[in-house]
Structure 1
Amino acid sequence: MSTAANIVIAAIALLHLWFLILEMFLWTKPSGLRAFGTTAEFAAQSKALAANQGLYNGFLAAGLVWGLCLGGGAGFHVKVFFLACVLIAGIFGGLTASRKILWIQALPALVALVLIHLT
């Protein structure tokens, strides 16, 4: 289970790195507009907010990578903390912004939390 948990955690970290790129660098580009279903006008007005949100997603990715690098013992608590942050952010986003966030962000974090507690 440890390997499966680490694979899921790595995938979540990569996903949040992708969110960073989308929100910080591609927000006003066609790929960013498609990903978030926004208009060019809205994207232009909210560019600074999106970049800030992207930076936070980068911190989540960095924390998960940190936990993976620490390994099983010391990294366990780091992984749990950052996965809990991802889960809470995903639930909040799913309730306030788009239900899709529950499936893309919250569910993978919940799966990873279950997997690391099974090891």
Structure 2
Amino acid sequence: MEIMEIRDAVERLRADSGTSMIFGEPHQTSDGSTIITVSRLHRQWRGDPIPVPVGVFSIHEGEPSWSPAVDHTRAALMGEFIGLAAAVIATLAVLRRPPWPDVTIRKG
């Protein structure tokens, strides 16, 4: 695949996507691969939109491949929320009926 064909393909993707995608300039590596970064604009509640990485197109020996950018922060945040929910549920269960022995004196 030639550089001009890659640029034409990127332009078609940009026109077809309908979203605010940002394609970086093609970079040639020392082994002959071509790398194109892809980002999208994330609109914040206030302020200017910021670019968020989506992935990378890499072309090596005429074979294109797509490598998505994985946000590990999102998975870590989900784990923290699950741990917090488990701690809250355990605390409520202990406060409702403590696991230690009942030491109240009953007449009867």
Smaller-chain TM-score bracket: under 0.3
Q: Which has the higher strand share?
A: 2
User: What TM-score do you get using the length of structure 2 for normalisation?
Assistant: 0.24
Q: Which has the higher helix share?
A: 1
User: What TM-score do you get using the length of structure 1 for normalisation?
Assistant: 0.23
Higher normalized contact order (CA 8 Å, seq sep 6+, divided by chain length) = 1
